[in-house]
Amino acid sequence: MGKLASEDIQIQRLIDSYLRLQVSKNGFTAEGEHLDEDFLTAFIEGNLNRREARPVVDHLAACMFCRQITAELIKLDLAFADDRARVFVEEGEPSRVSEVLNGLLSRIFGTNDDVVFAHQEQEKEEPSEKMENPPDNKQ
Amino acid sequence: MKHEDLVIECESVMDEIFARCVENAPNFGVLVDCFKDSLRKTAYRYLNTDSSETPTSEEISGFLRQIQADDLFLALACAGGNDRAWWEFDQQHRAYLERVARHLARTEIDAQEVVDTVYVELYGTRVVEGERVSKFATYSGRGTLRGWLRTVIWHSLVDLHRASHDEISLDEMMENVGESFAHANFAATELGGESQTIDNIARERYRKATLDSIEKAFASLDSHEKLLLLYYHVENLKLREIARMVENPASPLRGWFQRKSASRDKNPASKIHESTIMRWLEKNYAKVLKIFRTELSTTHGLSEKEIEICMGLATQDLASPNLYRNLITT
């Protein structure tokens, strides 16, 4: 019993050191394309089926870059686990998406670039600057 | 059957999913062709997965039904610039995006900048052939929209950090994005002095045999087994974090580990506890140990006593200033 337990600990330590050392020598880094956001998310959520998951798992076992990303996303997923069902309704939302985005652009680029959103900008009288109900597109 | 024919056979399923989405969100203005194009693209990607088996049309239908259709519908509506959809998106996800960004970023300014940048990307400022290219177009509905957004925020924050720190390594960059990155640092083991207790020639032989055997033992594992060990030992994921990843009863990772499990047969949807992950790890250790010992014995012709010396050497090396590195370099 004592020998077995000792052997278990020894093999765990051996594996631990072996893996860390391999990675520190830039081992386990696959060449080629990395996983995209779509696949990363679906993998973390356990939403890939076996057919899709097999190459993803093969890749993750070989690619340090993607594996690190998935590890961080898993931690993030757990940190925000309670947030899943929450829907936030805040007062005073801007009435149109173009206003939100133009506001963002002016903060980022220091200009209000109306041209970017010109395709959907329509001169339209808004009853008020703030809106408490969603825009209703029902005909 | 050709891939095209398989997808055509699933048209009615696509129509059925679309109808349900329209019922749930009648004001989003998503056209049936746009929605079905997205589903078709995802179905082709699925069909082109590197697999020896060609799926049946029933399998494709089942696959399409698993797609987060309402999330995809919202994403496509936003990509199309629908006001109602953007309002919904903003209500449902903005506060969440902001909290995720604050959690990851070091400053409030960085967090706000990332959220702003992601919003702009989601809307799309690039125009290709007269069409605005929205980041939403890359969402397929395979994962939840919220999970996808979390990934987008994460990537955006890494990009932001990279842009402000030229020539920075991935490790350094990751260490600085979010507190959890502290663990991402690869703990390169310390070099140290050698034990004087064993004859040097024999010691070298044991070292080489140990390294060779542990390499073969690890290589013999299936990918999902390797990944579990890497997540636990290298990425420092906690048992509960790994358990979270396999929480979904349909998770293939879970399925592979549980394929011979009696408890799974009884209750396939049972909660995965940390103790379950520990058991999976223990099975991996046992598998590695078995192959490791066999390799030392059969390939390197070591006796039971010598195998014990190898085990002892490796752990001594690990426990004290590390000689294990010498194993690698010899």
Residue by residue, DSSP assigns B47-104 as HTSS-SSPPPHHHHHHHHHTS-HHHHHHHHHHHTT-HHHHHHHHHHHHHHHHHHHHHH
Distance of CA B275 to the CA centre of its chain: 21
User: Which residues lie across from B51 on neighbouring strands?
Assistant: none
Q: Best interface-test mutation with A: which of B97, B103, B144, B151 has the largest number of A CBs within 10 A?
A: B151
Asked if B44 reaches chain A (Cβ–Cβ under 8 Å), the answer is no
Task: Identify the pLDDT of residue B174.
Answer: 56
Closest approach of B292 to chain A, Cα-based (Å): 9
pLDDT category at B325 given cuts 50, 70, 90 is: very low
pLDDT at B249 over 90: no
Residue B239 at interface with chain A, using a CB cutoff of 8 Å: no
Whether the per-residue pLDDT at B190 is higher than 50: the answer is: no
Point out the residue among A9, A25, A93 whose CB comes nearest to the CB of B90. A93
C-alpha B312/C-alpha A27 separation (Å) is: 25
| CB atoms A90 and B224 under 8 Å | no
User: Residues 45..84 of A with a Cβ closer than 8 Å to B: which?
Assistant: 45-55, 57-58, 60-61, 65, 67-69, 71-81, 83-84
Residue ranges of the domains in chain B? 3-67, 85-182, 194-329
Residue B89 confidence (pLDDT)? 96
pLDDT in tens, B175-188: 555 433 333 332 33
The H or E element spanning position A130 is strand A130-131
What are the pLDDT digits (tens) for B129-157? 888 899 999 999 999 999 999 999 999 99
3-class secondary-structure state, position B132: strand
Q: Which pLDDT value is given to residue A96? A: 56
Asked if A49 lies within 8 A of B252 by C-beta distance, the reply is yes
pLDDT top residue among A119 and B195: B195
Compute the distance between CA of residue B80 and CA of residue B131 in angstroms, rounded to an integer.
10
Spatial separation of the C-alpha atoms in residues B97 and B23, rounded to whole Å: 27
Q: Which of A74-88, B89-103, B294-308 has the lowest mean pLDDT?
A: A74-88
Q: Phi and psi for A57 in degrees, rounded to 5?
A: -65, -40
Alpha helices in chain B (DSSP H): 3-8, 11-24, 32-47, 57-65, 69-79, 83-104, 108-123, 145-164, 170-175, 200-219, 223-233, 239-245, 252-257, 262-266, 274-294, 304-319, 324-329
What is the DSSP code (8-state) at residue B298?
Answer: I
* Cβ contact A35:A56 at 8 Å: yes
Nearest-neighbour CA in chain B from A46: distance (Å): 4
Which 207-226 residues of chain B touch chain A by CB within 8 A?
210, 214-215, 218, 223-224, 226
Q: Is A111 on the interface with B (CB under 8 A)?
A: no
SS3 B43: helix
HSE of B72, CA atoms in CB hemisphere, 13 A:
29
- In a mutational test of the A interface, the residue from B315, B326, B328 whose CB has the highest number of chain A CBs within 10 Å is B315
Question: What pLDDT shows up at residue B171?
Answer: 57
Q: Kindly state whether A33 is in contact with chain B, defined as any CB-CB distance less than 8 angstroms.
A: no
Taking the CA atoms of chain A, what radius of gyration do you get in angstroms? 25
Closest CA to B88 of B28, B16, B10, B173: B28
* Closest CB to B170 among A45, A65, A104: A65
Q: Which residues contact B235 (CB under 8 A, 6 or more apart)?
A: A67, A68, A71, B183, B184
The separation between CA B248 and the C-alpha centre of its own chain, rounded to angstroms, equals 14
Task: Per-residue pLDDT tens, chain A, 139 aa: give them.
Answer: 556 567 888 889 889 888 888 877 765 556 668 999 999 999 999 999 888 999 999 999 999 999 999 999 999 998 888 765 454 444 444 445 556 556 555 554 554 444 344 344 444 444 444 444 566 544 3
pLDDT > 70: percent of chain B: 81
Query: For residue B180, what are its two tokens?
Result: 């959890």
DSSP SS3 for B271: coil
Is A120 near chain B, with CB under 8 Å? yes
Question: What is the per-residue pLDDT for A70?
Answer: 95
Which of the listed ranges A102-116, B43-57, B255-269 does the model predict with the highest average pLDDT?
Answer: B43-57
Residue B264 pLDDT greater than 70, yes or no:
no
Q: Is residue B60 a contact partner of residue B10, using CB atoms and an 8 Å limit?
A: yes
Q: Report chain B residues whose CB lies below 8 A from the CB of A121.
A: none
Question: Reduced to 3 states, what is the DSSP secondary structure of residue B256?
Answer: helix
A97 touching chain B per CB within 8 A? yes
Q: Mean pLDDT, to the nearest integer, of B209-213? A: 90
More reliable by pLDDT, B192 or B7: B7
Mean pLDDT score, B269-284? 87
Of the candidates A42, A78, A101, the beta carbon closest to that of B241 is on A78
CB spacing of B81 vs A120 below 8 angstroms: yes
B57 at interface of A, judged by CB pairs closer than 8 A? no
In the three-class reduction of DSSP (H, G, I as helix; E, B as strand; rest coil), residue B128 is classed as strand
- Please tell me the distance from the alpha carbon of residue A104 to that of residue A118, in angstroms, as a whole number: 16
